[in-house]
Amino acid sequence: MKYSSLGNSEIKVSKICLGTMTWGNQNTQAEGFEQMDYAVDNGVNFFDTAELYPVPATAETYAETERIIGNWFQKSGQRENIILASKIAGPGEYTAHIRTNGFSAEAIESAVNDSLKRLKTDYIDLYQLHWPERQTNTFGVRDYKHNPQDTWTDNINEVLQTLSKLIKAGKIREIGLSNEKAWGAMRFAEESRLHNLPPIVSNQNAYSLLNRVFEGDMAEVAIRENMGLLAYSPMAFGVLSGKYIKGTASENSRLKLFPRFARYSSKESTLATQKYLDLATNHNLSLAQMSLAFVNQQPFVTSNIIGATTMEQLKENIESINVDLSSELLEEINGIHNLIPNPAP
């Protein structure tokens, strides 16, 4: 395994992070336990979760993933060996069953305290804001179009003050963003510097062969501000395994169970995926390992968040850390990207 520093902190995280959002829906607790055991045995020390999980989010399954992790900590005694990341759910209709008071001090404090209870721990190593409160182009929206009716007012200082109190109380160690854009990331960085508040150490955004929009401006923010990317959906909901093109996807696969998750299923994405599949085959690689190795090698990536529903997938995903893509192969990947750039923003 390879390891990276989490921002300017002293925390070292594995370059492969274990994603958990299927546990409690597509995966049972026993399967989640098996995944955590295997990941730790193979050098993974970084787990990412959220109060929202499992996905799709429902009131019935709310926070079940955190409970599974907490039960594993209790059973395994491994808490001190794991860098644990979680998130407070952002506002909106999708999360109205959780709370409706956004990132207010009351919301953040109650979210952290509730997560600590479910996770059966005294602290969370990395606490993240799952998506911005303001209206911006996230979750597959290609371009920013300002909405004059957006009622959000800049409360970034207040959010950082609340998180700072939780750090001083020992409940969280570091703070990060998720699904954030360049303006928001720099506002947090500015506010941290001006008022001696905790810095943002990471930004968890989508990044894959089908979605490289992070390279447009966020990559520079990541490097210059030491706010590295925690890349999610590096397999594009499993599309970059090639199983949907090959017709080998199981009935328990995400897109068969939840066809509304069509972010990576456009005609352009399918065409690009076929080209990447052919390229991987020509280089004697699986598409999954080529896709993950591409993410692993980016200089702005702190950790690559993998997610698997089977142990076979998990093993292949973790093994990607040992795959080094040649400069020739990277040039061919960029050739496809130039032909079909970012088909799934």
Calpha distance 204→301 (Å, rounded): 10
Could you tell me the CATH number of the domain that includes residue 20? 3.20.20.100
Tell whether the model's pLDDT for residue 247 goes beyond 90. Answer: no
Pairing label, strands 200-206, 172-178: parallel
Question: Is 68 inside a domain boundary?
Answer: yes
pLDDT at 198: 98
26-75 per-position pLDDT tens digit: 999 999 999 999 999 999 999 999 999 999 999 999 999 999 999 999 99
pLDDT at 262: 77
Question: Is 317 inside a domain boundary?
Answer: yes
Tell whether the model's pLDDT for residue 258 goes beyond 80. Answer: no
Tell whether the model's pLDDT for residue 221 goes beyond 90. Answer: yes
Question: Is 151 inside a domain boundary?
Answer: yes
Domain count of the chain? 1
Tell whether the model's pLDDT for residue 257 goes beyond 80. Answer: no
pLDDT at 156: 98
pLDDT at 173: 98
Return mean pLDDT, the chain. 96
Question: Is 138 inside a domain boundary?
Answer: yes
Question: Is 299 inside a domain boundary?
Answer: yes
Domain that holds residue 67: 3-238+289-324
pLDDT at 244: 87
Active site residue 53: yes
Question: Is 344 inside a domain boundary?
Answer: no
More confident residue, 247 or 164: 164
Q: Roughly how many angstroms between the first and final C-alpha of the chain, as a whole number? A: 30
Question: Is 42 inside a domain boundary?
Answer: yes
Active-site hit among 53, 127, 232, 276: 53
Tell whether the model's pLDDT for residue 256 goes beyond 70. Answer: no
Question: Is 127 inside a domain boundary?
Answer: yes
Confidence of residue 248 (pLDDT cuts 50, 70, 90): confident
Nearest to 98 by CA among 70, 131, 122: 131
Tell whether the model's pLDDT for residue 252 goes beyond 80. Answer: no
